[in-house]
Amino acid sequence: PPITRERRKIIEAYLKEQKFPIENVFVQTSYTFPREDAEGYCIFYDKKTRKCQIHSIKPETCVAGPITFDINKETQKIEWHLKKEKICLLAGKMCKNEKALRKHLELAKIEILRMVQQLDPKALQTILRIEEPETFKIDEDNIGKEILDKLISDS
């Protein structure tokens, strides 16, 4: 998941407070994200407990999961997508419970919109180039000019 500067500061403070034993937990490319271990698991995933070690402060996209997003510049909309059941069992359960899906979608929108607003243009543009074929569109909303402006330049 992408990490904003603000979220990175929150996570780093939490890790320091908790005396987390692993250093260099983030990878910095065109955007920042948590490092993966040798097996491809998020560095914050505890295989013994099968839980996130930073659950209370986890990244926005982790809170939003299995809902993800795309931004359609032509329609000027943010599109909300749900992962397919074959890659996410939780998504399958949500598909079968419309009320739970709608409730979670509202939370996901808040979290993802906060992240999108805080990401710098280059990070947002890079993230939007990542294909997510194992998803399907479930909703869309108008997107503000300040976010669309981030997509104009090819920085």
Query: pTM here?
Result: 0.90
What does the pLDDT read at residue 152? 85
**135-147, pLDDT tens digit by residue?**
999 999 999 999 9
The CA distance from 83 to 69, in Å, is: 10
Task: Supply the DSSP string of 46-67, one letter for each residue.
Answer: ETTTTEETTGGG--HHHHHTTE
What does the pLDDT read at residue 22? 82
pLDDT of 45 over the 60 cut: yes
DSSP assigned state of 24: -
What does the pLDDT read at residue 23? 86
What does the pLDDT read at residue 153? 65
**63-118, pLDDT tens digit by residue?**
999 999 999 999 999 999 999 999 999 999 999 999 999 999 999 999 999 999 99
